[in-house]
Structure 1
Amino acid sequence: MAYAALTTAKYFLAIPDADSGELISNLKLQKLLYYAQGYHVALQGVSRPLFADKIYAWKHGPVVKTVYNHYSRYRDGALPAERLTTPLDSWTKSFLDEIYRSHGRFSAWALREMTHREPPWLKNYKPNVLDIEIPLSDLRAFFHQNVQK
């Protein structure tokens, strides 16, 4: 079952992380969503995405517009901690915890730079065009090779 991207985002914002030294901005959240979706479709296939919302190739990297718009009032500031109201199954929680462990330690700008070197964004980004979707098949092709390693 695919969750809403906002549910996934709220899960990341609900993870207590006083030791990281950096609060999560919308930029960082967008990149965490990209990595979560990428690894999820690599493991589960494009017919079973983590969330149904589309990811677009924007100037500063992959963006889930529904989540971006939800948190846009915070601009580049820290997003508030969230309380998860939609329950996630235990596999998904463990999966998202692992994504946060592996990628949450990076700053928003480091994650941005990482995505700018990866084929899903590179292949689909066009300057000054906001609505180019990064297809799940592109995510799977790239992340599947990382899962195999």
Structure 2
Amino acid sequence: MKLLKLTYIAHGYYLGFFNKPLIQNRVQAWKYGPVIPELYGVIKRFGTSSVDIELMDLYSEKDLSEKDEEFISLLWNAYKGSSGTKLSALTHTKGSPWSQVFNGQHNVDIPNDIIADYYSNLINKNMDEQQQPA
């Protein structure tokens, strides 16, 4: 679950910062939150165990730019201590893209423009809070 949620969150922040997708895969609203079905299909066999990194290398993007690698590294450092359950809760908050489109059925696409708007607003809110005097 942690890998799924981190990938989704990274995609969301990337859309919010750069207004372009980090991944080309579609994102869907499932019962337990946003899911990237293609990634889920690759990792579901691991269950709650760690994902085999060598297997993931077969499916990963080999041509990430240095900027993208740095972005992913920064995001990993910010969220690596969070459990899959905590990350899942973050993706379920009121107003989140998942909450905007989930209607009780699987396979409902979450459009990138909804994800971009949400994360852009989250980024702006965090920047505003940091700029306020203590």
TM-score range, shorter chain: 0.7 to 0.9
Deviation, 1:126, is 2.1
Alignment gaps of 5+ in structure 1: 1-26
**Runs of 4 or more consecutive aligned structure 1 residues displaced over 6 Å after TM superposition:** none
Deviation, 1:138, is 1.0
**Paired AA for residue 145 in structure 1:** N
- CA shift digits 1:30-72 (9 cap, x unpaired): 1111111111111121xx2111101111112111000000111
Query: Which position in structure 2 is the counterpart of 1:52?
Result: 24
* TM alignment of 1:1-149, pairs within 5 A: 27-45=1-19, 48-82=20-54, 83=57, 86-118=62-94, 119-127=96-104, 129-148=105-124, 149=127
Deviation, 1:87, is 3.3
Deviation, 1:85, is 7.1
Instruction: Flag the structure with higher helix content.
Output: 2
Q: Secondary structure at the match of 1:79?
A: coil
Alignment gaps of 5+ in structure 2: 128-134
**Paired AA for residue 63 in structure 1:** V
Q: 1:132 to 1:85 in 2, by over 3 A?
A: closer
Structure index of larger Rg: 2
Between Structure 1 and Structure 2, how many residues are aligned? 120
Q: 1:43 to 1:131 in 2, by over 3 A?
A: same
Identity within the alignment, %: 24
Q: Secondary structure at the match of 2:97?
A: helix
Cα distance in 1 for partners of 2:110, 2:63 equals 27
**Larger RCO (alpha carbons 8 Å, 6+ apart):** 2
Q: Secondary structure at the match of 1:30?
A: helix
Aligned-residue CA RMSD in angstroms? 1.5
Query: Which position in structure 2 is the counterpart of 1:14?
Result: none
TM-score, normalised to structure 1, is 0.74
Cα distance in 1 for partners of 2:34, 2:22 equals 16
